[in-house]
Chains A and B, each alone.
Chain A
Amino acid sequence: MDGDARTVLPSAMAPPMRAVRNGEAVARFDVPSVSMDSFRRAVLSACSAKARLAAIAVLPGRTPGRVLLAVLADDKSQLLGLLCTDVPLDNRYPALTPDLPQAQAFEREILEEHGIVPEGHPWPKPLRRHAELEGPCDARVGPDGYPFFRVDGPGIHEVAVGPVHAGIIEPGHFRFQCHGETVLHLEIQLGYQHRDAQALLLHSSPARRLVIAETIAGDTSVGHAMAYAMAMEALTGTAPPPQAEAMRGIALELERLANHVGDLGALCNDVGYLPGASWFGRLRGEFLNLSLEICGSRFGRGLVIPGGVRFDLPVAGREAFLLRLRAAGTDLRHIADVVFQSSAVVSRFEGTGVVTTAMAETLGLVGVAARASGCDRDVRRDHPAGIYRRASIEPAATSSGGVMARAQIRRGEADHSIASVRELVETLPDGARNVALGQARPHALAVTLVEGWRGEIAHMAATDDRGHLAAYKVVDPSFHNWLGLALAMRGGQISDFPLCNKSFNLSYAGHDL
């Protein structure tokens, strides 16, 4: 185990936090365990010093009993801070959320999954479990099982949408509180997609865990498979070969390209600009088909395995691959030039669905949505692992925070990803595709972060005294960002919703797990 004690730490990661790097395993009981009071103080002080809450997890403790683990990300120092506290015997603790709004969903999850009550949480509603599902604790409150926010007063009306939506999309329920055309508040109730993925990851065979990781969010198959594989590699002390790291980079950037380009097309569709919708829609397929060429799946499935990758890119096929990539890159530039100069597009994108920088910081947004609101954070640069330790990543950034900003970030990142894929293919190392995974160490803990196309994917895995998985936690970027979408709608119109929604394009399955 890496026992390297880092004594000089920036304030955000100051002791008592245990500082680790992305993908580095630590001995579980080396993570300091402090009193609840110190735990709260340390988490709040780190977050006021620009660290972010990447996860809160519940782990089995050393003695019978459970501990709360906070994972904080300090983007400037490239460090993650870990800190534990025992769950009090009465399973109640003072909630962080009133002082730290970015904890709101994590604390609702803790209540729902583990029956641990965050006292003083302003919003202790079910996150995923609906009336039909029993949980360890009855988190449901109110007579109808889910107490929606309501605005009362003359002229106020409520519009309910879903769970089944009009398009081919995942289910979720939306309640708009409106006055005339103006949306005063939107509440998003999720959980319809809850498949209990975290429990299945914990209790399944390794072969099945991999396919569950790939299907946490289908459009992020590579991202979640990578986070899972990195976690298994960290727990077993396995280093994937250089070729595998490069192939993972290629697949992750192709995934980013397909989704960003697809979203640009969908945004065009939602403002009725159909040429852009058709062209981008077709172009998205070019990137999916490059993944298909590599690993036989348009979604990159079957490529990443713990220990490396299953497929390489044969030398003979690289030239044709690069030609297709270049053609797609040219198309992307041409189409984007036309779309972003179209007045029909610009007039609807500009000023719609704005999330301010302060709001994004408060909510702890990640990924495209954060960067569009001026929060300069990108795991590839801030917590580099694998191939990204050697790549130069300059995240696209803008601060206007609306639909236009999120669209422009996607365009900028897509251009950057094309250059990255080209470079990775041109410099692809030879050698093994994968190595065998060793035995997992007992009492180990690892946190892995991957910058998926939506934003930060976090996985946390811990082992028991025999090296078997004792806890597994998944945080999809959507988990941080759904509330951002809800707040982006305030003061807008219901007709802005499809556009706003598409500009975030969050995962229901990734949130609901």
Chain B
Amino acid sequence: MRRLWERLRQGYRTIAFPKGQSELPPRFRGRPALHPSRCQAGCRGCADACPTAAIKTDPLRLDLGACLFCPACAAACDQGAISFTNDFRLAARTRGDLLLSGREMRLAAALDRKMRRIFGRSLKLRQVSAGGCNACEADLNVTGIVVYDIGRFGIQFVASPRHADGVVVTGPITVNMALALRETLAAVPEPKLVIAAGACAISGGPFAGSSTCGDGIPADIPVDLYLPGCPPHPLTILDGLLRLLGRIE
């Protein structure tokens, strides 16, 4: 009886996304906004403050794939040339699309018709953590809770690569996990998708250049979707996956 009462008290918690508005708090650091025209000549304040060398100056550019969305660059710039919006839409299909220069970012486009026919209504993913600190893993897990309920879009994380249509990779790819990652990928039947979640998987993140890791997913493994962040917010993940499937345009 108490269980039923508690169930009623808990109510319905799933958010309306993608139909309704999903507002994040003002301090949430989403897609950075660049205003190169405000840069002072020769100023490198933001680039020097960046922990992962994600920023180049003259002209101002920012690599979303290496960005940890920490407040260091925005705090270092008193001209407002670089600031964070609270827009969580960050996913891209190519590495090049993650290089921001102040122009409108090209968000992830949908898969082609054939792939959409295969995956559009049922996408099963396997997750492999290869040096992930457990933040990306935690927020991938969160897409399954009642609030985000990724299952309502036909997307599910499965236990075996044999059951999967694709692999979501996190972490900078430690040397000790490189083989396990490749074997997991090989065990997924074709056609398959590879999704890079988080700065580590895209570029090595804070661990780029470490003697015991790679700088993210090796170049010979084609990546179909990049989800930037440290870690990507659950809405960033959902938005990216739904764009890939053509469910959000």
Contacts and interface: CB of A to CB of B under 8 A. Distances in A.
Interface of A: 128-130, 132-133, 163-164, 166-171, 191-197, 199-200, 205, 207-208, 210-212, 214-219, 221, 262, 275, 278-279, 281-282, 285, 289, 292-299, 301-302, 310-311, 331, 334-335, 337-338, 341-342, 507-509, 512
B135 A218 contact: yes
B213 A195 contact: yes
B102 interface: no
Given A218-B138, A302-B29, A133 B230 contact: no
Interface string B151-188: 00000010110000000000110111111100010000
A299 B137 CA distance: 12
B28 A296 contact: yes
A193 B179 CA distance: 13
Contacts of A170: 129, 132, 134, 137
B147 to A, nearest CB: 6
A104 B50 CA distance: 39
Interface in B107-126: none
A391 B124 CA distance: 48
Contacts of A219: 134-135, 138
Nearest to B30: A296
B146 A192 contact: no
B135 A196 contact: no
B148 to A, nearest CB: 9
B103 interface: no
B175 A133 contact: yes
B175 A296 contact: no
B84 interface: yes
A171 B177 contact: yes
A509 B133 contact: yes
Interface stretch (B6-14, B37-45, B91-99, B239-247): B6-14
Contacts of B207: 195-197, 200, 212, 215
A279 B10 contact: yes
B159 A166 contact: yes
Q: Which 9 A-B pairs have the closest CB atoms?
A: A218-B135, A218-B133, A166-B159, A296-B27, A218-B134, A281-B145, A208-B51, A207-B51, A215-B133
Interface of B: 2-3, 6-7, 9-10, 13, 24-25, 27-29, 49-52, 68-72, 75, 84, 127-142, 145-147, 157, 159-160, 171-172, 174-180, 184, 200, 205-207, 210-213, 230-231, 233
A196 B24 contact: no
Contacts of B205: 215
A128 B141 CA distance: 26
A157 to B, nearest CB: 22
Q: Which of B127, B157, B172 has the most CB of A within 10 A?
A: B127
Given A219-B135, A275-B6, 6 more contacts: A166-B160, A193-B131, A215-B205, A338-B2, A338-B3, A509-B132
Contacts of A192: 130-131, 174, 176-177, 180
Nearest to A280: B145
A193 B171 contact: yes
A277 to B, nearest CB: 9
A215 B6 contact: no
Contacts of B28: 292, 296
Contacts of B136: 218
A133 B210 contact: no
A299 B52 CA distance: 19
Nearest to B157: A168
Contacts of A262: 138
B27 A293 contact: yes
Contacts of B212: 129, 133, 194-196
A163 B180 contact: yes
Given A164-B128, A191-B176, A337-B2, A215 B29 contact: no
A216 B132 CA distance: 9
Nearest to B136: A218
A163 B177 CA distance: 8
B176 A509 contact: no
B40 to A, nearest CB: 20
Given A196-B213, A281-B145, A301-B70, A171 B180 contact: yes
A379 to B, nearest CB: 21
A168 B52 contact: no
A292 B135 CA distance: 14
B70 A292 contact: no
Given A130-B176, A169-B137, A192-B174, A275 B70 contact: no
B195 to A, nearest CB: 13
Nearest to A207: B51
Contacts of A311: 27
Contacts of A296: 25, 27-29, 69, 71, 84
A370 to B, nearest CB: 21
A319 B231 CA distance: 29
Contact of B146 (A210, A282, A507): A282
A169 B210 CA distance: 22
B134 A217 contact: yes
Given A196-B212, A208-B206, A338-B2, A282 B147 contact: yes
B176 A275 contact: no
Contacts of A507: 134
Contacts of B133: 215-218, 509
